[in-house]
């Protein structure tokens, strides 16, 4: 690219900073130069894997993408400068409903919309100058990708980790599809269309993620400090491990119903003597099994009324408690007392055993139920608070056991242990761990997803599609209305596609017509980036083990629970299969903030959206990127109404002009140059390293601005443009700037006579001896009188200052004479007052 270099010789003839010209020059260069190509198999250099959560192809890139990808590019480019072999891939999460809805509307195939949007986004990403290697690009809706999604499904199936069951599932009447619990949000509405979700009984596929509940919790230890604490907390809550006991209650026989028993899960077996009734989930089969003839109709009426109430509402504190007596009685396992059994909606069918022992004195929901139904409230733990039947507030805190013959007088925790012992020895209960986590419902009655590779045969049952027949391809010739779901999968309407011969017996059989939740696709894409074109195997274990876990994972906090949990689950399963040698996929996680406008999230309805392409056209890529990074620490929101991309553009022009003005030769010895500027340059490099490690990218930019100011001053009123220290500072500025504003930095580098690309130059080493510390004079007083002074670093901590002051010989002698230190008042970093006596 010699003509490009000739173009930009620092001959002083070049006009002013023109971002369009600069973008037009370097974008094709990086492409032809393959500047960001990664050699996945090179084993000599240490690796760094920086991964951005891959985008969904909904239209063009937006401001949120611009922020997230600007942030992710900083560690990727920094690692490259530090000599790492860097993998920074890009791909698309390209299955999913919006494509399908668009296809129905436009009488098209979902692939058309999907791949058109991908191309639009890809062009924007290129212009945005992400340091990505495009050769590792993937799309989850490509056959070459979903073949392996299906292959994984079959591996899970082989291990009993994928299974089918009938169950009441969340159903969105508008999307006409099943939703996982986690896709039901807020007051029980569909995550996508906000329609209230209802229940429907369907036969569905599940992944047995509950088998991994303990490991998903315990392995979080590896992530402590490297993932945001709030994400870890959300994962923990989602898994929701509760320890307690399961207790078995015998149920008396009744007219037409034999004696039976039920188990309940309780976190408070210490309150066993306070049980005055039992409640089963009204919508559970158990309620139907227990109810007597006499109460049968009433139960059915009650159940019919439950339909649309969400789980959150059902459990909410200010909801009126309702229920139906089932006509049956349980026997208290210790006292033999008769306990009436009720059905109510505040007990959930799919938590614990779907039945609870009612302890109204110490559980608020039980108390409200008891008060509504006129049931007895019996205090068994004295907490010193008012009687719950009077106050209306159950007492849930610590206290001493009362009215409990077997463990009278014990503290709560002791009684919990004791009660479990007693129950176990009598065979009526045992210690039990319960989880909020449910198995992952993965089947969807929609078209645009990976078909579930199972064939149903009347003779053989479920038959896996043989591996060599994968992928089970989606039909390409359906369009528009044919794709609309009508309560079942569109694939079910395509007999030609669905009817096949059974791979086992050759008889006529039918394909499974559901497709997989797109979360399945995104649970393993970061592994496939290591082999996007491999059609022999899912990936090379050796290569994946060399590169993973991902060093920096960057993406939105909206994925704090599911995507991360599912990816962690997949990783553990692959680990158990011997396919990978690590148990957590993402070593560190950065959740970028949101881009707001005027304090609010950008949205169509508010009309406060900002169009990324317009911003790029107006200010240039670099100015937009710089603004995103400079505005705030990466995890904080950026309010576009408060920032100044034009200010960023001005700064870029200022930095660029410096490179233009430098006249010293490349390789001139900076040691011969201005010492003051050299100190600033080397301090900036040293600080930038620390700030980059700590992900304080906005502060790196601030420091860079100071450096640029210092060079400007040196050129204008100091040593001038021929000083080699000026060149050193300008080159350093270009290198640091390349992390954020790659076009301007590349142009500067080139004007400075250095060979492109700055992205592959070596990070400058700082000279320790040039790092003059910032110091201040601290005064040390004894009882308010000035007794000594000391020079200390400006950023010394209060503790360190106190220690140093007390160690001064003069101060020690005053202190001794005065009878020792009584207290020390420290105002770091300027004042220490030792009070003696």
Residue 826 binding ligand ANZ, by CB under 6 A: no
DSSP letter (8 states) at residue 53: P
- Specify whether the CB–CB gap between 128 and 612 falls below 8 A: no
Distance separating alpha carbons of residues 412 and 395, to the nearest angstrom: 12
Task: Compute the distance between CA of residue 673 and CA of residue 195 in angstroms, rounded to an integer.
Answer: 69
DSSP state of 451: B
Cβ atoms within 10 A of the Cβ of 144, count? Answer: 14
For position 265 contacting ligand ANZ by CB under 6 A, the verdict is: yes
Torsion sign (Cα): 349, 352, 355, 357: negative
Minimum distance from residue 456 beta carbon to Zn ion (Å): 9
Q: Where are the alpha helices (DSSP H) in 529-576?
A: 541-547, 562-576
Nearer CB in complex with ligand ANZ: 359/454: 359
For Zn ion, the closer CB: 370 or 502: 502
Residue 268 vs 572, nearer CB to ligand ANZ: 268
Q: Which stretch binds ligand ANZ (CB under 6 A): 97-105, 208-216, 267-275, 546-554?
A: 267-275
Q: Which of 5, 27, 406, 460 binds Zn ion (CB under 5 A)?
A: 460
Question: Residue 271, interface with ligand ANZ (CB under 6 A)?
Answer: yes
Contact status, residue 697 vs residue 752, Cβ threshold 8 Å: no
Q: 107: Cβ–Cβ under 8 A, 6 or more apart, which residues?
A: 479, 480, 481
Query: Measured between alpha carbons, how far is residue 305 from residues 170, 178, 368 in Å?
Result: 17, 21, 20
Distance between terminal CA atoms of the chain? 78
310-346 burial, b at 16+ Cβ within 10 Å, e below that, comes to bbeebeeeeeebbbbbbbbbbbbbbeeeebbbbbbbb
Nearest-approach distance from CB 154 to Zn ion, in angstroms: 17
- Residue spans of beta strands (DSSP E) within 135-287: 138-139, 162-172, 177-179, 184-185, 189-190, 198-207, 241-251, 260-266, 277-281
Task: From the list Zn ion, ligand ANZ, none, pick the one residue 351 interacts with, judged by a Cβ distance below 5 to 8 Å according to partner type.
Answer: ligand ANZ
Contact call for residue 552 and ligand ANZ (CB under 6 A): no
Scan residues 347-406 and list those touching ligand ANZ (CB under 6 A).
Answer: 347-348, 351-352, 354, 356-357, 359, 362-363
Site for ligand ANZ in 419-438 (CB under 6 A): 434
From the list ligand ANZ, Zn ion, none, pick the one residue 242 interacts with, judged by a Cβ distance below 5 to 8 Å according to partner type.
ligand ANZ
* Residue 504, binding choice from ligand ANZ, Zn ion, none, Cβ under 5 to 8 Å by partner class: Zn ion
Report the sign of the C-alpha dihedral through residues 321, 323, 327, 332, in that order. negative
Q: What is the DSSP letter of 283?
A: T
**Angstrom distances, CA of residue 65 to CA of 617, 649, 772:** 16, 20, 40
Minimum CB distance to Zn ion smaller for 337 or for 458: 458
Closest CA to 774 of 794, 802, 757: 794
Name which of 389 and 608 has its Cβ closer to ligand ANZ. Answer: 389
Burial class (CB in 10 A: 0-12, 13-18, 19+), 275: buried
| Choice between 267 and 644, CB closer to ligand ANZ | 267
**Binding partner at 347 among ligand ANZ, Zn ion, none, C-beta below 5 to 8 Å by kind:** ligand ANZ
Rounded Cα–Cα distance for residues 220 and 492 (Å) = 41
Q: Are 612 and 638 in contact (CB under 8 A)?
A: no
Task: Work out how close the CB of 365 gets to ligand ANZ at its nearest, in angstroms, rounded to a whole number.
Answer: 7
Query: CB of 514: closest distance to Zn ion in angstroms?
Result: 19
Which residues within the stretch 457-476 sit at the binding site for ligand ANZ (CB under 6 A)?
Answer: none
Q: Does 276 bind ligand ANZ (CB under 6 A)?
A: no
Which stretch, 266-274, 290-298, 510-518, 604-612, contacts ligand ANZ (CB under 6 A)?
266-274
Minimum separation from the CB atom of position 216 to ligand ANZ (A): 17
State the nearest-atom distance from the C-beta of 468 to Zn ion, in Å: 18
Near Zn ion by CB under 5 A: residue from 459, 671, 807, 825: 459
Q: Which does 309 bind (CB under 5 to 8 A by kind): ligand ANZ, Zn ion, none?
A: none
Contact between 340 and 290 under an 8 Å Cβ cutoff? The reply is no
3 state DSSP class of 392:
coil
Choosing from 348, 504, 719, 779, the residue that interacts with Zn ion (CB under 5 A) is 504
Q: Give yes or no for a contact between 37 and 133, defined as CB atoms under 8 angstroms apart.
A: yes
Residues 483-502, mask of contacts with Zn ion (x by CB under 5 A) = -------------------x
The answer to whether residue 457 forms part of the interface with Zn ion (CB under 5 A) is yes
Nearer to ligand ANZ, 369 or 656 (CB): 369
Q: Which residues bind ligand ANZ (CB under 6 A)?
A: 242, 265-268, 271, 281, 347-348, 351-352, 354, 356-357, 359, 362-363, 434
Q: Which residues bind Zn ion (CB under 5 A)?
A: 457, 459-460, 502, 504-505, 507
């Amino acid at each position: 690219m010699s003509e490009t270099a000739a173009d930009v010789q620092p001959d002083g003839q070049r006009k002013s900073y023109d971002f369009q010209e600069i973008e037009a020059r370097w974008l094709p260069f990086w492409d032809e130069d393959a500047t960001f190509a990664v050699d996945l198999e090179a084993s000599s250099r240490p690796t760094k894997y920086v991964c951005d959560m891959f985008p969904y192809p909904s239209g063009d890139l937006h401001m949120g993408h611009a922020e997230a990808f600007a942030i992710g590019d900083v560690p990727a480019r920094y690692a490259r400068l530090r000599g790492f072999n860097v993998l920074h891939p890009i791909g698309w999460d390209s299955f999913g409903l919006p494509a399908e809805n668009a296809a129905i509307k436009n009488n098209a195939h979902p692939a058309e919309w999907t791949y058109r949007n991908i191309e639009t986004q890809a062009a924007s990403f290129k212009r945005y100058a992400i340091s990505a290697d495009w050769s590792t690009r993937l799309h989850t809706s490509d056959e070459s990708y979903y073949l392996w999604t299906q292959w994984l499904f079959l591996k899970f199936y082989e291990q009993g980790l994928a299974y089918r069951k009938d169950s009441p599932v969340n159903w969105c009447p508008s999307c006409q599809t099943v939703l996982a619990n986690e896709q039901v949000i807020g007051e029980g509405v569909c995550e996508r269309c906000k329609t209230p979700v209802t229940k429907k009984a369907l036969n569905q596929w599940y992944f047995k993620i509950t088998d991994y509940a303990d490991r998903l919790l315990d392995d979080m230890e590896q992530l402590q400090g490297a993932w945001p604490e709030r994400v870890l907390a959300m994962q923990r809550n989602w898994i929701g491990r509760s320890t307690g006991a399961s207790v078995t209650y015998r149920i008396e026989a009744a007219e037409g119903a034999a004696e039976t028993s039920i188990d309940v899960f309780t976190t408070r077996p210490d309150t066993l003597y306070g049980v005055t009734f039992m409640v089963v989930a009204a919508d559970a089969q158990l309620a139907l099994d227990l109810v007597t003839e006499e109460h049968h109709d009433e139960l059915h009426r009650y159940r019919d009324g439950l339909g649309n109430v969400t789980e959150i509402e059902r459990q909410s504190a200010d909801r009126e408690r309702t229920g139906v007596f089932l006509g049956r009685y349980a026997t208290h396992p210790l006292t033999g007392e008769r306990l009436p059994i009720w059905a109510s909606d505040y007990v959930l069918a799919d938590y614990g055993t779907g039945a609870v022992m009612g302890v109204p004195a110490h559980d608020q929901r039980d108390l409200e139920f008891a008060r509504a139904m006129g049931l007895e409230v019996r205090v068994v733990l004295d907490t010193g608070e008012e009687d719950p039947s009077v106050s209306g507030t159950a007492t849930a805190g610590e206290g001493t056991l009362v009215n409990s013959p077997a463990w009278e007088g014990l503290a709560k925790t002791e009684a919990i242990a004791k009660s479990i012992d007693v129950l176990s020895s009598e065979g009526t209960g045992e210690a039990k761990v319960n989880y909020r986590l449910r198995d992952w419902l993965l089947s969807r009655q929609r078209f645009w997803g990976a078909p579930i590779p199972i064939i149903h045969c009347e003779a053989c049952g479920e038959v896996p599609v043989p591996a060599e027949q994968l992928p089970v391809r989606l039909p390409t010739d359906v369009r528009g209305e044919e794709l609309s779901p009508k309560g079942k999968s569109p694939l079910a309407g395509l007999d030609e596609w669905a009817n096949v011969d059974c791979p086992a017996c050759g008889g006529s059989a039918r394909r499974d017509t559901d497709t997989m939740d797109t979360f399945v696709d995104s649970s393993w894409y970061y592994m496939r980036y290591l082999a996007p074109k491999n059609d022999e195997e899912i990936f090379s274990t050796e290569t994946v083990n060399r590169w993973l876990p991902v060093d920096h994972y960057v993406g939105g906090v909206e994925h704090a629970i599911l995507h991360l949990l599912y990816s962690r689950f997949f990783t553990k399963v692959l680990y158990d299969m011997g396919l990978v040698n690590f148990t957590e996929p993402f070593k560190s996680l950065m959740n970028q903030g949101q881009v707001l406008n005027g304090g609010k999230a950008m949205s169509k309805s508010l009309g406060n959206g900002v169009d990324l392409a317009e911003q790029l056209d107006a200010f240039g890529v670099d100015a937009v990127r710089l603004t995103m990074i400079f505005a705030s620490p990466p995890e904080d929101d950026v309010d576009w109404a408060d920032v100044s991309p034009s200010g960023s553009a001005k700064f870029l022009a200022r930095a660029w002009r410096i490179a233009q003005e430098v006249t010293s030769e490349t390789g001139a010895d900076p040691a011969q140059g201005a010492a003051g500027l050299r100190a600033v340059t080397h301090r900036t490099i040293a600080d930038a390293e620390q700030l980059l490690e700590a992900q304080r990218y906005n502060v790196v930019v601030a420091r860079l601005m100071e450096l640029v100011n210092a060079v400007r001053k040196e050129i204008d009123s100091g040593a001038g443009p021929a000083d080699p220290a000026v060149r050193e500072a300008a080159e350093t500025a270009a290198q640091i700037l390349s992390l954020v504003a790659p076009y301007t930095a590349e142009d500067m580098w080139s004007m400075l006579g250095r060979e492109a690309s700055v992205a592959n130059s070596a990070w400058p080493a700082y000279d320790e001896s040039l790092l003059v510390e910032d110091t201040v004079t601290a005064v040390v007083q004894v009882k308010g009188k000035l007794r000594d002074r000391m020079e200390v670093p400006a950023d010394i901590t209060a503790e360190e200052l106190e220690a140093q002051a007390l160690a001064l010989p003069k101060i020690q002698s005053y202190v001794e004479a005065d009878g020792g230190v009584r207290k020390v008042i420290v105002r770091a970093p300027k004042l220490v007052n030792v009070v003696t006596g």
